[in-house]
C-alpha cells in the first residue's frame, strides 16, 4: 500500500524516533509499504518518520545504479550491491570512516529542494534486520550517503540542516513556503 509522505513542516520530521523493540507482522507490513511508497515516489530511501511514524525503521534501494559505490563489504567480505538490496533496517549504528565529500541531495519530504551536502564518504554500519540478524557492512558512495541521510531522519535531522550557511539563507524563503503548505 502506498502511504502518504509527510512534508517539511510536519513535527514528526523533527522527532528523535523511538527504537524498534519488537518486530511483528505489523512492522513487516509497514516496511513493505514503505518500500512500495519509496519506489512509487522514485526515491532511493525512506525513513519511518517520513510517513508519520516515529520509529527507528528505514528502507533503501540503490540497486538501480551499481556504479554508485566503489566497494561493499558484508561481514568483512566483498559483496555485490544487489545481494543486500532492497535494504530494510531498524535501530542503525553508523561509524564514519572516510573524509567528507560534497554531493547534491534531495528528500521526498522536502519537495523540489536540492542542495550540496558534505558528508563522510565511507562508513561502517550495523543494521539490525527484521529477521533478528545484524547486517554489518562497509561501503561508500550513494549507499553511504543514503544510510547517513535516512539515519539523520531517525534523529530528527534533515539534509537542509547540513548545508552551508549561505545555502541555508538562499533556501529560507522556499522552506517557509513549504512549511506553510504542510
Say which of 36, 77, 150, 182 is annotated catalytic: 150
107 is annotated as contributing to ligand binding = yes
Letter string b/e over residues 138-148, b meaning 16 or more CB atoms within 10 A of that residue's CB: bbbbbbbbbbb
Strands (E), 129-181: 134-140
Q: Could you confirm whether 93 is annotated as catalytic?
A: no
Q: Quote the strand ranges of the chain, DSSP E.
A: 45-47, 57-60, 72-74, 77-78, 87-90, 93-96, 100-107, 110-120, 122-128, 134-140
Query: Was 149 annotated as part of a binding site?
Result: yes
Q: Is the peptide bond before 115 cis (omega within 30 degrees of 0)?
A: no
As a whole number of angstroms, the distance between CA 27 and CA 30 comes to 5
Residue 64, annotated as binding a ligand: no
102 touches 163 (CB < 8 A): no
**Nearest Cα residue to 141 out of 173, 97, 92, 182:** 97
DSSP secondary structure code for residue 79 in this structure: -
Residues annotated within a binding site = 107, 149, 153
Which of the residues are catalytic? Answer: 150
Residues annotated within a binding site for Fe cation = 107, 149, 153
Amino acid at each position: 500500500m502506498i502511504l502518504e509522505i509527510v512534508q517539511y513542516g510536519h513535527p514528526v520530521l523533527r522527532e528523535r524516533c523511538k527504537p524498534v523493540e519488537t518486530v511483528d507482522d505489523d512492522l513487516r507490513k509497514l516496511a513493505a509499504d514503505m518500500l512500495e511508497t519509496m519506489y512509487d515516489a522514485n526515491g532511493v530511501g525512506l525513513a519511518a518518520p517520513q510517513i508519520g511514524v516515529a520509529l527507528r525503521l528505514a528502507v533503501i534501494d540503490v540497486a538501480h545504479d551499481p556504479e554508485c559505490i566503489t566497494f561493499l563489504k558484508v561481514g568483512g567480505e566483498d559483496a555485490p550491491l544487489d545481494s543486500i538490496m532492497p535494504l530494510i533496517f531498524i535501530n542503525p549504528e553508523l561509524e564514519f570512516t572516510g573524509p567528507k565529500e560534497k554531493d547534491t541531495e534531495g528528500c521526498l519530504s522536502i519537495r523540489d529542494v536540492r542542495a550540496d551536502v558534505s558528508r563522510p564518504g565511507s562508513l561502517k554500519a550495523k543494521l539490525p534486520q527484521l529477521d533478528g540478524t545484524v547486517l554489518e557492512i562497509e561501503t561508500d558512495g550513494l549507499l553511504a550517503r543514503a544510510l547517513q541521510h535516512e539515519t539523520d531522519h531517525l534523529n530528527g535531522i534533515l539534509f537542509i540542516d547540513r548545508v552551508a550557511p549561505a545555502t541555508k539563507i538562499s533556501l529560507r524563503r522556499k522552506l517557509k513556503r513549504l512549511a506553510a503548505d504542510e
